[in-house]
């Protein structure tokens, strides 16, 4: 079972250090499973991240580079692999940002969506439904399952995504339960990151409390889903993966929402894996991991298959590192920059002179280098400066040069097109992916 938490930051989950008491259900799962303390989304958009989750490929491999793109049918997904092995497969999606048109439905025998239609241009906010409707639809499907047959359930909770006319719109009882003194303490601790935010202190408090309440509500529904499956006898031998698809800007770095930058708050997500037999319960893994590691980990634990080709930088079976140490890999992040008008809609007064092209970043050791499309760069020491406030590129040029070479080498090895350009798989890349089993077959 895979549960994806849209727009959910790791730092708002108790198992990751949040003290607001928002996630008692996720915290129980964390105690029962393995917490990956530094999990990253490679791109802070919903379709690219989910395509990575289900294929084990980064956005530059699967080419679903934007929510307006499509995961091509030639790419093999976890759901297709499960269906081929006789699993019942059902998906229960919280918003039409992941409708059938995106191709993310591949392999799901049941693909349950909110009502409504996203307009032809696929711009603006998609129709969505509350978490309780996702839970209800998933449990109704579970009633129909043959208990002798394995199943794969994907539940996608969209509520922390502040897309309603009111922004965050949590149920009143969940908003009332958010401890305001705790929110104010969060704001105080984040004060430097919030400098220049275009909201008053009271507005910021309400905004942060609204987000916290959406997380609290979503957590409750995750618990109800798991309890419902348990009551039906469907949880005893089930692998559970809970993961965020990307984070959210709460006006840190003056960024509201997500999609345009590569700051930590936009890319750090929760990732909890619960083994069917309870192995490694309560363990925590400090090594950096990335969402393309989810597919090979599920493949290994659920299907008994080894990772196909970690040497090519796709994904690793994280379970192999649970009892030891995962390799110290560089982690690459990216986002395509669009025209200034689009950036203006998301950002208030920040770097609007953003050239068209990919904004990229690499993390290695304690450092993170951000490379802008115009060639300018920023370097941050995340150990000394986890808030990413002090650019040290000028102070450490040799380190910045080395990381830039690493990042540019990765880009050269994984060439891709910009949004709006023709995106297709080169013959060389296609042959490699077919040989590894990532694409191909009549499906």
Residues 198, 70 share a domain? yes
Domain boundary, last residue among 321, 355, 371? 321
Q: What separation in angstroms does the CA of 399 have from each of 308, 364, 371?
A: 33, 11, 14
Task: Assign residue 356 the CATH number of its domain.
Answer: 3.30.1120.10
User: CATH number of the domain that 285 lies in?
Assistant: 3.40.720.10
Global pTM reads 0.91
**Same-domain status, 341 and 296:** no
Q: Is residue 173 part of a domain?
A: yes
| pLDDT the model gives residue 256 | 78
Where among 287, 321, 355 does a domain terminate? 321
Within-domain flag for 201: yes
Residues 424 and 289 in one domain: no
Shared-domain flag, residues 340 and 313: no
With respect to residue 419, please indicate whether it lies within any of the assigned structural domains: yes
Same domain? 93 vs 141: yes
Question: Number of structural domains, the chain?
Answer: 2
The pLDDT tens digits for 390-421 are 999 999 999 999 999 999 999 988 888 765 56
Q: What pLDDT, in 10s, does the model give residues 205-246? A: 999 999 999 999 999 999 999 999 999 999 989 999 999 999
Q: Do 111 and 190 sit in the same domain of this protein?
A: yes
Residue 443 domain-assigned?
no
399: number of Cβ within 10 Å: 17
**Which tens digits make up the pLDDT trace of 65-104?**
888 788 989 899 999 999 999 999 999 999 998 999 899 9
Domain extent, residue 311, equals: 2-321
441 domain-assigned: no
Are 312 and 338 members of one domain? no
The verdict on 411 and 302 lying in the same domain is no
- In this structure, are 381 and 291 located in the same domain? no
Residue 352 has pLDDT above 50, yes or no: no
Please tell me whether residues 361 and 311 are part of one structural domain.
Answer: no
Q: Which residues contact 100 (CB under 8 A, 6 or more apart)?
A: 111, 113
| Dihedral angle sign, alpha carbons of residues 125, 222, 259, 297 | negative
> Residue 228: CB partners within 8 Å, gap ≥ 6?
135, 138, 139, 142
The answer to whether residues 262 and 296 belong to one domain is: yes
Give residue 427's pLDDT. Answer: 66
Q: Is residue 326 part of a domain?
A: no
Of 321, 346, 378, the residue that ends a domain is 321
Same domain membership, residue 89 and residue 31 = yes
């Amino acid at each position: 079972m895979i549960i994806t938490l849209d727009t959910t930051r790791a730092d708002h989950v108790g198992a990751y250090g949040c003290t607001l008491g928002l996630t008692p259900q996720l915290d129980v799962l964390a105690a029962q499973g393995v917490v990956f303390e530094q999990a990253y989304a490679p791109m802070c958009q919903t379709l690219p991240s989910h395509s990575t989750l289900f294929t084990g490929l980064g956005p530059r491999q699967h080419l679903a580079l934007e929510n307006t793109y499509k995961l091509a049918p030639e790419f093999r997904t976890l759901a297709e692999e499960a269906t081929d092995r006789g699993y019942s497969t059902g998906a229960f999606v919280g918003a039409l940002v992941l409708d059938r048109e995106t191709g993310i439905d591949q392999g799901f025998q049941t693909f349950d969506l909110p009502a409504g239609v996203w307009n032809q241009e696929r711009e603006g906010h998609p129709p969505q439904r509350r978490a309780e409707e996702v839970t209800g639809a998933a449990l109704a499907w579970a009633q129909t399952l043959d208990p002798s047959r394995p199943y794969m359930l994907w539940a996608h909770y969209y509520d922390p995504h502040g897309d309603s006319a009111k922004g965050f719109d949590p149920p009143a009882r969940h908003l009332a339960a958010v401890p305001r003194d705790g929110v104010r303490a969060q704001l105080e601790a984040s004060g430097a990151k919030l400098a220049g935010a275009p909201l008053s202190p009271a507005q910021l408090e309400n905004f942060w409390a609204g987000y916290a309440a959406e997380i609290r509500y979503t957590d409750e529904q995750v618990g109800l889903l798991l309890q419902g499956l348990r009551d039906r006898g469907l949880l005893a031998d089930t692998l559970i993966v809970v993961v965020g698809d990307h984070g959210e800007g709460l006006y840190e770095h003056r960024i509201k929402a997500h999609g345009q930058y590569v700051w930590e708050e936009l890319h750090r997500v929760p990732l909890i894996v619960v083994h069917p037999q309870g192995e490694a319960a309560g363990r925590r893994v400090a090594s950096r991991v990335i969402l393309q590691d989810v597919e090979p980990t599920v493949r290994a634990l659920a299907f008994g298959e080894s990772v196909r080709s970690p040497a090519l930088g796709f994904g690793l079976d994280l379970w192999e590192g649970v009892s030891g140490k995962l390799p110290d890999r560089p982690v690459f992040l990216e986002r395509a920059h669009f025209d200034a008008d689009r950036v203006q809609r998301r950002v208030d007064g920040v770097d609007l002179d953003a050239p068209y092209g990919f904004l990229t970043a690499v993390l290695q050791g304690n450092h993170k280098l951000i490379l802008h499309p115009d060639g300018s760069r920023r370097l941050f020491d995340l150990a000394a400066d986890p808030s990413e406030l002090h650019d040290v590129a000028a102070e450490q040029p040799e380190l910045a040069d080395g990381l830039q070479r690493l990042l540019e080498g990765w880009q050269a090895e994984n060439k891709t097109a910009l949004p709006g350009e023709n995106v297709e798989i080169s013959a060389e890349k296609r042959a490699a992916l077919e040989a590894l089993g990532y694409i191909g077959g009549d499906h």
